[in-house]
């Protein structure tokens, strides 16, 4: 991956040239991130404040050091299960915070060793499948919240849920426990979101000054307040988890007192280090995958520096652990919302982090009146843009060798989780690469009793089966030339196959001649 000019600098201030686009985009990302930070904390069995801290650190600290202008970091749903088990094993959240801090140091070391090149080996179709798969997961997971069923936490991306239901069971149950108020708020919010993209509205100057997601939140909150007088049975209640549930802090001193600092006394505990290594590995992989995906979405087609991103994630996890926060990674849901909101620089991520901090300190009671239904509508619009039919059709036109890895990655993500789905897609992609490689590696020419096998490229063990098949096809009594002029490298396995054939060829009356194959003398 080729870094952009200036990526060697560790600390970079955001450009203010695009602030007119980045400020409203930061507000949109804040609205998306707020319930996700709380939801991931709930799913992880961690204090709610730890999710907000991770969101603030991911938005402010990581953005300053990031290798990407549009990537947004925060607590990741993909780590929720790992965090939950780790807290149970360590029997202490402060001990877990120490593990997060150590994982940051490890990630920083990985970034300094320039291990970010791992992300360059992910095929494009797997990245596209990841984006579409996440889009479909967002849609499936947010439908229950749009219908008023908020029993499952916002931000759950795994197929199997902690409540022993799965994505499809949850949707089926939500149909039977819907709330008319939530449905009406979701419908109005979706109408605003998609109506805002209509040319008749989009060309108005005031439309760019008033982000559609903000209007959704204002309208949805006012509608829910109006239901109290017009239709009490439609009201979305905090007691049923229909609303945002920010922790309310009476003062800055109370906020600081609620922070759970790391338990440094357990620095020598092997279990702490085991958790730290796990978080560092999984978090680094998820960040690199998200980085590749964000580059695909970037309208300016900038190429991010993966090593700078790993260093940034390491610094972010160090401070998140130090302040008692959850692990942070680059998160594709928030990053894609950032792109579709029109962000141009890292300023939008910083704005979203500042707004998260201000929300906890200044207006938690006000934000706790916001219905999850209107936030679900915002996420539904993001999911639709990630997995639109136009994207699927464009991949279909690329042919089966490209569409199958894409489709299987999508299905894998929907039916398992992000990392497992990516792994499944990689395996399928490797199969197609090996298949194409073996088919084009050599050419066979026949002219009577004269046969020629010409290597078109380097040969490795991958081509051994194809080479054996071609040699078996040579009839008895023939003359065979094996030409390796075009191959710069023929590995040991292929050389052994050729040598064994040449040794047995006289018994079949076959005359052999090898050209430019290192390790085999010309006969």
pLDDT (0 to 100) of residue 459: 84
Domain boundary among 358, 375, 394: 394
Please tell me the distance from the alpha carbon of residue 303 to that of residue 294, in angstroms, as a whole number. 10
Instruction: Say how far residue 507 (Cα) sits from the centre of its chain.
Output: 58
Identify whether 409 is part of a domain. Answer: no
Identify whether 490 is part of a domain. Answer: yes
Please tell me the distance from the alpha carbon of residue 356 to that of residue 358, in angstroms, as a whole number. 5
Does residue 159 sit in the same domain as residue 217?
A: yes
Does residue 334 sit in the same domain as residue 477?
A: no
Residue with tokens 């919302």: 337
Q: Two tokens at 475? A: 């009839």
Domain boundary among 360, 394, 428: 394
DSSP secondary structure string for all residues of 454-515: EE-S-B-GGGHHHHHHHHHTSPTT-EEEEE-TT-S-B-HHHHHHHHHHHHHGGGGT-EEEEE
Domain boundary among 394, 427, 452: 394
Estimate the crossing angle of helix 372-386 against helix 124-147, to 10 degrees.
150
Does residue 384 sit in the same domain as residue 482?
A: no
Identify whether 404 is part of a domain. Answer: no
Question: Which residue, 316, 313, 245, 330, is CA-closest to 49?
Answer: 245
Does residue 450 sit in the same domain as residue 388?
A: no
CATH code, domain carrying 490: 3.30.750.24
Coil, helix or strand at residue 335: helix
Does residue 38 sit in the same domain as residue 130?
A: yes
Identify whether 420 is part of a domain. Answer: no
Does residue 342 sit in the same domain as residue 465?
A: no
* Total domains present in the chain: 2
Please tell me the distance from the alpha carbon of residue 39 to that of residue 425, in angstroms, as a whole number. 28
Instruction: Say how far residue 65 (Cα) sits from the centre of its chain.
Output: 19
Q: How deeply is 86 buried, as exposed, middle or buried, from its count of CB atoms within 10 A (0-12, 13-18, 19+)?
A: buried
Identify whether 306 is part of a domain. Answer: yes
Does residue 339 sit in the same domain as residue 461?
A: no
**Vertex 426 angle, CA 421 and 428, to 5°:** 100
The 10s digit of each residue's pLDDT in 411-459 is 999 998 888 888 898 888 888 777 766 667 888 999 888 999 999 888 8
Residue with tokens 């060309």: 203
pLDDT (0 to 100) of residue 7: 43
Does residue 189 sit in the same domain as residue 331?
A: yes
CB atoms within 10 A of CB 512: 22
Please tell me the distance from the alpha carbon of residue 265 to that of residue 256, in angstroms, as a whole number. 21
Does residue 107 sit in the same domain as residue 242?
A: yes
Q: How deeply is 18 buried, as exposed, middle or buried, from its count of CB atoms within 10 A (0-12, 13-18, 19+)?
A: middle
Contact partners, residue 430, CB within 8 Å, separation at least 6: none
Does residue 218 sit in the same domain as residue 162?
A: yes
The 10s digit of each residue's pLDDT in 350-381 is 999 999 999 999 999 999 999 999 999 999 99
Q: Cβ distance 51 to 75 under 8 Å? A: yes
Averaged pLDDT in 10-residue chunks for the chain of 523 residues: 45 60 91 91 90 96 92 89 91 96 96 85 87 92 91 74 79 84 96 88 76 93 95 91 87 86 94 95 92 91 90 96 95 92 92 94 92 94 91 88 90 89 87 71 89 88 85 92 89 89 91 84 59
Query: What range does the domain containing 149 cover?
Result: 19-394
Q: Two tokens at 196? A: 């805002």
CA Rg, the chain, in Å?
28
Please tell me the distance from the alpha carbon of residue 102 to that of residue 272, in angstroms, as a whole number. 9
Identify whether 10 is part of a domain. Answer: no
Identify whether 468 is part of a domain. Answer: yes
User: What 3 state SS string does 6-55 have?
Assistant: CCCCCCCCCCCCCHHHHHHHHHHHHHHHHHHHHHHHHHHCCCHHHHHHHH
Does residue 367 sit in the same domain as residue 462?
A: no
Does residue 281 sit in the same domain as residue 358?
A: yes
């Amino acid at each position: 991956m080729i870094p952009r000019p200036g990526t060697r600098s560790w600390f970079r201030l955001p450009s203010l040239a695009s602030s007119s686009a980045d400020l409203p985009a930061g507000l949109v990302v804040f609205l998306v991130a707020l319930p996700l930070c709380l939801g991931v904390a709930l799913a992880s069995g961690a204090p709610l404040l730890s999710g907000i801290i991770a969101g603030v650190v991911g938005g402010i600290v990581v953005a300053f050091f990031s290798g990407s202008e549009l990537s947004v970091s925060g607590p990741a749903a993909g780590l929720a299960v790992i965090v939950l088990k780790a807290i149970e094993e360590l029997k202490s959240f402060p001990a877990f915070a120490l593990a997060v801090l150590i994982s940051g140091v490890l990630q920083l070391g990985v970034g300094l060793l320039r291990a970010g090149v791992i992300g360059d080996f992910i095929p494009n179709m797997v990245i596209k499948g990841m984006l579409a798969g996440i889009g479909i997961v967002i849609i499936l997971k947010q439908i229950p919240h749009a219908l008023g069923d908020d029993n499952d936490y916002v931000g759950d991306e795994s197929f199997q849920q902690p409540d022993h239901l799965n994505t499809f069971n949850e949707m089926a149950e939500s149909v039977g426990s819907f709330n008319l108020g939530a449905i009406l708020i979701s419908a109005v919010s979706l109408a605003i979101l998609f109506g805002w993209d209509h040319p008749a509205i989009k060309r108005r100057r005031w439309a760019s000054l008033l982000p559609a997601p903000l209007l959704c939140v204002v309208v949805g909150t006012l509608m829910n307040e109006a239901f109290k007088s017009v239709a009490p049975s439609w009201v979305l209640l905090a007691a049923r988890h229909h609303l945002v549930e920010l922790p309310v802090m009476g003062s800055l001193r109370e906020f600081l007192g609620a922070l759970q600092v790391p338990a440094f006394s357990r620095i020598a505990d092997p279990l702490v280090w085991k958790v730290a290594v796990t978080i560092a590995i999984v978090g680094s992989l998820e960040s690199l995958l998200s980085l590749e995906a964000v580059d695909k979405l970037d309208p300016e087609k900038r190429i991010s520096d993966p090593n700078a991103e790993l260093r940034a994630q390491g610094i972010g996890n160090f401070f998140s652990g130090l302040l008692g926060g959850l692990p942070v990674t680059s998160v594709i849901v928030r990053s894609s919302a950032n792109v579709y909101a029109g962000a141009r620089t890292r300023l939008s991520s910083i704005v979203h982090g500042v707004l998260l901090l201000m929300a906890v300190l200044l207006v938690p009671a006000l934000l706790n009146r916001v219905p999850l239904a209107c936030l679900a509508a915002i996420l539904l619009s993001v999911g639709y843009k990630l997995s639109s039919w136009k994207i699927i059709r464009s991949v279909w036109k690329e042919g089966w060798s490209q569409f199958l890895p894409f489709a299987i990655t999508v299905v894998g993500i929907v039916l398992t989780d992000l990392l497992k789905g990516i792994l499944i897609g990689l395996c399928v992609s490797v199969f197609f690469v090996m298949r194409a490689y073996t088919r084009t590696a050599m050419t066979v020419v026949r002219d009577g009793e004269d046969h020629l096998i010409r290597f078109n490229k380097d040969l490795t063990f991958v081509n051994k089966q194809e080479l054996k098949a071609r040699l078996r096809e040579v009839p008895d009594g023939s003359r065979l030339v094996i030409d390796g002029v075009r191959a710069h490298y023929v590995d040991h396995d292929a050389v052994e196959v050729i040598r064994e054939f040449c040794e047995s060829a006289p018994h079949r009356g076959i005359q052999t001649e090898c050209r430019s194959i290192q390790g085999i003398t010309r006969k």
